[in-house]
Structure 1
Amino acid sequence: STTAPNYSWQAAGQTVFTDNTKTSPIGWNARVQEGQRVFVSIRVKNIGNQTWIKGSANPVRIATWNPQDRNSPFCSEWISCNRIAEHVEASVGPGEFGTFEFWAKAPQQSGTYREHFNLVAEGRTWFNPTGTFVEFDVQPPIYTWQPIHQGVFTDNTKTTPIGWNARTTPGQKVYAVMSVRNTGNVAWEKNSLHPVRLAPWNPQDKDSIFCSGWISCNRIAVHNEDVVQPGQIATYEFWIQAPDHTVSARQHVNLVAEGKTWMKPTGAFIDVSVEAPQYSWQPLHQAVFTDNTKTTHLGWGASLAPSQKAYVVVAGINKGNIAWTNTTSPIRLGTWNPQDRNSPFCSEWLSCNRPATLQESRVEPGQVGHFEFWIQAPTSTGTYKEYFNPVAEGKSWMNATGMYVQLDVK
């Protein structure tokens, strides 16, 4: 006897994802905003006696149901608005599992939609309805955010933090990082028509005096991440440049979905204090060595024979509000008491009133800088107190601390 064809199926699972990478599941059903596209995957079992062959004359497709053949408001890149897709597999035999995958685009009308589906063997028969549906809770787009963390750094290497806010000098640039949470229901897409940008606030759209390398002086930056889903963290990074005058200002910020809406302000801000440059230091330690290998220590000071050479190391803390560098307005150790005197211990110095330039390329406030230089004892014996003080060339001498190296020439 001949067995009658039996087209039957059984639902085996379903998941809605944010996109077709299928890396971010939303759930069995989905809460979406108006116009949002999501990716649906429905797994089924062939419990009939016919093999489903993809691309055949009678392909098995997932289609709209309840009522049969209705046009779905979620139609997006489907075969038609009542025929959604064929199974992914080349063939699905009796007892095997098939997968139907497709995009769904929410309509522009909010509400709860229960999208019923069934299978159809085109040109043959509809399958038994199983009550399968995906429920979509379509909401109007909500753009909201929550500040999570912020920090200001000396530069974009982000290795030297300054603090939550910024203390700068006129013209100085610092680098800010802000982390925020997407608390709305809309994914923020960096390269979309409606990117979510950080912008000056209070008042809205006012040009900032701290603008430097921004999108514009009323648009600071877009988030680093390509996509920030609801609940995820976005990171905004940007330079702040102090104006050429002293000022203390509070830079309020807010987020804007360009072409859509400003978000509700959260009160987020960065305080920027622009202060007059202060060059100040505090001696930390000093040592005299037999040579520049610095392996044989002579002491805080040293006893030397006439014409004997030795190697001096002086370390000091930057107690000012401006970074020391060894390039622009270099920080050098100079002779002191009296200022700029020519030292009798001058040996391979920059000049006889400038023993050395700062060793480090940059020393931020609170960090330690070093000066190293040779000395050569004069031929005249005696006890010498060699006073030194740092100088920012072309800018200012630093505070005198009474620092000296005592050298006994015997």
Structure 2
Amino acid sequence: MRRAGILLAFWGALLAAHASEDYPPARWVPAYSGNYTVSNRPSTYPIWYVIIHVVQGSYNGCISWFQNPSSRVSAHYVIRSSDGEVTQMVRHKDIAWHAGDWWYNCRSIGIEHEGWIDDPKWFTYAMYYSSAALVRHICRTYGIPRTRSYILGHVEVPGATHTDPGPNWDWDFYMQMVQSSAILEEASVPLTLRPGETASALLRFRNTGDITWQPAGSTPVRLGTQNPRDRYSPFFTPGSWISPNRPAAVAATTPPEAYGEFAFALTAPERYGTYEESYQLVREGVTWFGPIVTFRIDVVPWDVVYDNTSENFTVWGTWSTGTTAPGKYGADYRWTSTSPNSTAYARWYLNVPRDGYYDVYAWWSQGSNRSTAARYEIVHRGGTTVKAVNQQTNGGKWNWLGRYQFIRGTGFVYLRPKAPSGYVVIADAVRIVGPMNPLRR
């Protein structure tokens, strides 16, 4: 089973034409140059605050207003309600005219949110989530504490004549989002699995937020399924997972800047194909946070080889070990002479991993002294099927003996030298591949 690294899919996409230099997930649509003051912050003024506004209007209307020479106002960012799209209109280094107080304008970054303060439906999860991600970025860039003393509503600016973001803005929920963040530091996941096969996975995050992660309690931090959120994972493993959409909780209490581990099992579904699994951290009852972690798993057939050196291989009677014949599988093979009355046999116990139909193959080294009627017997759910094969040809490769139905943990292949005298049979390797669909008759 191969293992591989992770593809990270961070929430939101980089928007085409003009991306923001200050915050790459944002579009860059500049405000009218006469609606802000060109500066060189933080050299000219320190950036100490983030100020939260509500537009009292639409997203596009706000953008248009900041581009209007007669408006004499601007903000650094505007966020859309429906999906959290972010547009930057004033660079961080410059002073937007948003707070109604010159001292605060000089020392803050302003963020407008689409909507009306008396209508809470505009304050969507997508907008809160996007805004919180932006605020985390700003605070991290300028060393701003992620607290309400430094993340202000417009109404809290001294001398403010505005009341936004208003009573319907959920400050508790929003600040939990702002204060919850994580970085993926390590990942170990399987790249390939077979149907029903179970393998371990481990994701390790650094807590880059301000809140201690708890494994239990009223707001535990867990790993949840994404894309779509809370989906039922086809790799759900009873006994390992908390539920079909929660693989694991953080292993131990994890304070800020510590590392939290999420260990869980993955059990492959029955259907073959490439599956894309996405997960994200969630503080239950509060918020999702951190990167969306995406990885791909190929579910492929079981392909099991039983060589003559395997513990699943046994013989009865007199069998010799050979090493010189070309085309052998592995280091050696077993052989014995044929006889019409022979009671000897070689046996491979298949111990099939899952119920279903499997293709069965045999491998031998060919030679002119081989039997042309080597008797293979396949013991399967429907009984025993006999296949007589010519071992003078087709050596050094896998030869198909048929497709048969097996119950998990069962299955045998016998090779008997019960054939005309004067030859030998070669017991080398047997292989199964499946489960497969039954053959059409």
Normalising by structure 2, we get a TM-score of 0.37
In terms of fraction of residues, the more strand-rich structure is 1
In terms of fraction of residues, the more helix-rich structure is 2
Structure with higher RCO (Cα < 8 A, 6+ apart): 2
